[in-house]
Amino acid sequence: MASHRRALVTGASAGIGEAFARELARRGYDLVLTARRADRLEALAKDLRERHAVEAIVAPLDLARTDGPEALVAALEAQGLAIDVLVNNAGYGVPGYFEEQPWATHAAFIQVLMTAPTELAWRLLPAMKARGYGRILNIASLAGHIPGSAGHTLYAASKAYLIKFSQSLALECAGTGVHATAVCPGFTYSEFHDVTGSRELVSKMPGFMWMDAPAVARQGLDAADAGKAVYVTGRVNRAIKSLFKLIPDTLALKMVQRQGRRFRTGPRGG
């Protein structure tokens, strides 16, 4: 159990982020919860305080703001709140073909899923190293291990980035007491597919393909504590990753293309 250690969870208002917050609180960590929806954060913080007697602070923030990570860390430092565990979870999908979305939409996506987690890690890492303890969990995806699909052009690319970033960071932090881990879930029960409008389509996936968010959080935190640089949650997902490593790239791309037609949203889907 944690003793006077604190975790920062981004995208904590629902889904995998909420599950990480709950699991960290269960393990005794104090929390800083950030997301856009302040009402949900307040309700979650209240519940965690009552259930686990931990400190839970709410810091509403839209990480699409380019000054968001700097402002958040400055506010924490001003309050004397050290962060021992960073869970970079905030994220979403942008359905539709690449050129059909305005550049501002893509720029915001890159800011939230790539720039913000990288900057938060950069700003919090020195103090973690100085204290001799830290965990940086970048919530990537199985999608980062397989070819990108049409219709979510930047999603797999952003997750592949988080995987490579975590690997390099893990090597740089070796021996310091700080562990960096890319946690790679597959299909997970959450609001993600409701937000992207793909709930009806992905519901066609067989039940054995799905995991629940609490299981992802438990496995992810255990992997970080064990010092694993990359961890794919669930046996089925690990089998899929292994399969795509073995087959030729051209065949893998064709498989993703064929499967993607079944689950694509937007005007060119189907």
State yes or no: pLDDT of 126 exceeds 50.
yes
* Residue reference for tokens 């958040």: 72
State yes or no: pLDDT of 205 exceeds 70.
no
Residues in the chain: 270
How confident is the model at residue 248, as a pLDDT? 83
Residue 222 lies in a domain: yes
Residue range 136-160: average pLDDT?
Answer: 94
Euclidean distance between CA atoms 112 and 106, whole angstroms: 10
Euclidean distance between CA atoms 2 and 26, whole angstroms: 9
Tokens of 248: 């030729």
Q: Bigger pLDDT: 75 or 244? A: 75
The CATH number that applies at residue 82 is 3.40.50.720
How confident is the model at residue 265, as a pLDDT? 47
**3-class SS of residue 92:** coil
Residue 269 lies in a domain: no
How confident is the model at residue 254, as a pLDDT? 83
State yes or no: pLDDT of 204 exceeds 60.
no
State yes or no: pLDDT of 93 exceeds 90.
yes
Euclidean distance between CA atoms 88 and 190, whole angstroms: 17
Question: How many domains does the chain contain in total?
Answer: 1
How confident is the model at residue 190, as a pLDDT? 54
Q: Note down the domain range covering 209.
A: 6-263
The terminus-to-terminus CA distance of the chain in angstroms comes to 49
The string of pLDDT tens digits covering residues 37-63 is: 999 999 999 999 999 999 999 999 999
Euclidean distance between CA atoms 261 and 115, whole angstroms: 30
Euclidean distance between CA atoms 182 and 65, whole angstroms: 24
Neighbours of 47 (CB within 10 A): 15
Per the residue annotation, which of 92, 133, 155, 161 is the catalytic one? 155
Residue 270 lies in a domain: no
CA 11-209-168 angle, to 5 degrees, is: 50
Euclidean distance between CA atoms 193 and 189, whole angstroms: 9
231 is catalytic: no
Residue 268 lies in a domain: no
Tokens of 189: 């029960």
Residue 130 lies in a domain: yes
CA 220-202-61 angle, to 5 degrees, is: 55
**Which phi-psi region, left, alpha or beta, contains residue 191 (left: φ > 0; alpha: ψ -120 to 50)?**
alpha
Angstrom CA distances, 41 to 35, 133, 134, stand at: 7, 27, 24
Question: What share of the chain in percent tops pLDDT 70?
Answer: 86
* 8 A C-beta contact, residue 156 and residue 148: yes
